Amino acid sequence: MKHYHKIDAVFKVQYLRVKNGWAWIAALPMSKNGKSNYEDVTALLHNKKGVWRVEELVCTEPETPGCIDDSNYFKDLKKKFPQAPSEIFRK
């Protein structure tokens, strides 16, 4: 978050599943002192050469086409990242 939004944050992890160098995470970013909370983050991560990178920052807007509530979201995500193990996804 610091790189994109100039916010120095810590993340409270709600969900994290890792398999074969891929991870699915849902986290709550907040200020280091815990007084400020920011928009929840859900993302698909991939470990490339020892570095975790965000492959997909998930849109979580309710009832928005192409976002996580869309009935085709995970099917489309799997097409985009066929190597990502289905077992990591929180549905």
Q: What are the residue boundaries of the structural domains of the chain, listed by start?
A: 2-88
Q: How confident is the model at residue 31 (pLDDT cuts 50, 70, 90)?
A: confident
pLDDT of residue 34: 82
Q: Which contiguous run of DSSP H or E holds residue 74?
A: helix 73-80
Q: How many angstroms separate the CA atoms of 1 and 51, rounded?
A: 16
pLDDT of residue 26: 94
Contact 63, 26 (CB under 8 A): no
Q: What tokens were used for 76?
A: 């489309």
Residue tagged 């699915």 (tokens): 24
Average pLDDT of the chain is: 89
Is residue 73 packed enough to be buried (19+ CB in 10 Å), middle (13-18) or exposed (0-12)?
A: middle
